[in-house]
Amino acid sequence: MTSQTPPKVGIIANPISARDIRRVVASANSVQVADRANIVLRALAALAACGIEDVVMMPERGGIATHVLRGMERSNAQGEARFPRLTHLAMPVTGTADDTRRAARMMREAGDIAAIIVLGGDGTHRAVVAECGSVPIAGISTGTNNAFPEHREPTITGLATGLAAMGRVPAGLAFAANKKIEVRIDGGPPEIALVDVALVTDRYVGARALWRTETFRELYVAFADPEVIGMAAIAGLVEPVSRREPGGLALTLAPAATAAMTVCAPIAPGLVTPVGVEGWRRMPAGKLFSPDMAAGAVALDGERELFFDGHQQVAITLQDAAFRTVDVAAVMAYAAREKLLLRHATPALHPVPLLAGA
């Protein structure tokens, strides 16, 4: 993006996130299409308030766009003009994660997208990061397990993204570096995780999401937060590691009945269960980790994606400063400190009476 090109913001809203087995075995909520559309509308209004004039959105078949356009038309009919211009990428829609990856890649290649707002869970954000390159993202949580996107009112995320995209906040403050974990099997192309990589004994693919704790054997996390839901919660309750500090944490797990210790962890919304822990150690960036398991499945951010047997070699490494996100808290603190959103009223002009005898 050149300095002469007005900045645009991209929006990728996953219409089918939060629809896995954890909806059945736990008490996770589901964000309906109309709710997702309202989230997009709130973000759009905030972007416009910051001066963003053009937004590009991923097309989908779930109905989000229909609700969004209806809301924009209703606002425009009332003369409010609260929203920026909205266009959709010219791309085929398959209704799969390929749509998310293709949209992120197209936004990166466009060259004029200053940031991408992402609606979804950990899996959606992982798909975007795989293709967005150096374009920073701003996450809004609408999935099942949402360890990566921070929970925040979408209007605030939109304001921070707009201010950062417009260059009103120094880039070194507006954007934060994030870690990711790469997994390679037999030296093949890497698959990535933004939060955690789990190795499990269960190779059954009927349900990709993890919830049977007796199958957990090894866990590698980019950050360990005791306030999140999912596999990273196990690590966070053992030894917290922040998003911003270098490196992560590696844990050896076992069935709770036979493990040296157990941790009672929220592995899904409403599902708090004992998990067996044998030990843990720090995971420095760049260091190669190889699992002790002979065969099993690899789950990326809570969902089984890869499978391996005793004839294959699995390599796991963590990267620091792998991609950028909008640091919403830092941007809003700077906006308050520098009065970026403060507007002074223009004083009305009134006739000034002349002094007597003038």
What is the DSSP annotation of 178-245? EEEEEEEETT---EEESSEEEEES----S--B---GGGEEEEEES-B-TTS-SHHHHHHTTS-B-SSS
Domain boundary among 168, 196, 212: 168
Q: Are residues 245 and 129 part of one domain?
A: no
Q: Are residues 253 and 146 part of one domain?
A: no
- pLDDT exceeds cutoff 80 at 4: no
Output the domain CATH number for residue 218: 2.60.200
Q: Do 107 and 287 form a contact (C-beta atoms < 8 A)?
A: no
Q: Are residues 147 and 15 part of one domain?
A: yes
Q: Are residues 88 and 135 part of one domain?
A: yes
- What are the Cα distances from residue 299, in Å, to 82, 158, 170, 221, 224? 42, 31, 37, 12, 17
- Segment among 100-109, 153-162, 198-207, 227-236 with least mean pLDDT: 198-207
Domain boundary among 168, 199, 231: 168
154-165 helix and 33-49 helix, angle to the nearest 10 degrees? 40
- Segment among 75-79, 215-219, 260-264 with least mean pLDDT: 75-79
- What are the Cα distances from residue 147, in Å, to 75, 207, 249, 348? 34, 20, 15, 51
Inside any domain, residue 338: no
Inside any domain, residue 358: no
Pairing, β 248-254 against β 216-221:
antiparallel
- Segment among 13-17, 159-163, 222-226, 249-253 with least mean pLDDT: 13-17
Q: Are residues 160 and 240 part of one domain?
A: no
Mean pLDDT of the chain: 90
Q: Are residues 246 and 150 part of one domain?
A: no
Please, which pLDDT band fits residue 205 given cuts at 50, 70 and 90? low
- pLDDT exceeds cutoff 60 at 355: no
Please, which pLDDT band fits residue 194 given cuts at 50, 70 and 90? very high
Residue 298's Cβ-side half-sphere holds a number of Cα atoms within 13 Å equal to 28
The DSSP secondary-structure symbol of 138 reads E
- pLDDT exceeds cutoff 60 at 21: no
Domain boundary among 305, 320, 335: 320
Q: Are residues 290 and 259 part of one domain?
A: yes
- Supply 156's token pair: 């605030």
Output the domain CATH number for residue 71: 3.40.50.10330
Q: Are residues 155 and 18 part of one domain?
A: yes
Inside any domain, residue 304: yes
Q: Are residues 133 and 192 part of one domain?
A: no
154-165 helix and 328-337 helix, angle to the nearest 10 degrees? 70
Inside any domain, residue 337: no
- Residue pLDDT, tens place only, 257-313: 999 999 999 998 889 999 999 999 999 999 999 998 889 999 999 888 899 998 999
The DSSP secondary-structure symbol of 294 reads S
- What are the Cα distances from residue 51, in Å, to 85, 92, 341? 11, 30, 11
* Percentage of the chain exceeding pLDDT 70: 89
- For residue 269, report the phi and psi dihedrals to the nearest 5 degrees: -55, 120
Q: Are residues 70 and 24 part of one domain?
A: yes
Q: What is the mean predicted confidence (pLDDT) over 184-193?
A: 96
Number of domains in the chain: 2
- Per-residue confidence (pLDDT) for residue 17, from 0 to 100: 55
Residues in the chain: 358
- Residue pLDDT, tens place only, 133-154: 999 999 999 876 678 998 999 9
Q: What domain range includes position 144?
A: 8-168
- Per-residue confidence (pLDDT) for residue 22, from 0 to 100: 43
Q: Which of 59, 100, 82 is nearest to 155 (CA)?
A: 82
Inside any domain, residue 60: yes
Inside any domain, residue 202: yes
- Per-residue confidence (pLDDT) for residue 358, from 0 to 100: 39
Q: Are residues 238 and 192 part of one domain?
A: yes
- Per-residue confidence (pLDDT) for residue 24, from 0 to 100: 43
Please, which pLDDT band fits residue 356 given cuts at 50, 70 and 90? very low
Q: Are residues 311 and 209 part of one domain?
A: yes
- Per-residue confidence (pLDDT) for residue 19, from 0 to 100: 45
Q: Which of 72, 100, 88, 86 is nearest to 16 (CA)?
A: 100
Inside any domain, residue 174: no
Inside any domain, residue 66: yes
- Residue pLDDT, tens place only, 230-243: 899 999 999 999 99
Q: What is the mean predicted confidence (pLDDT) over 319-340?
A: 98
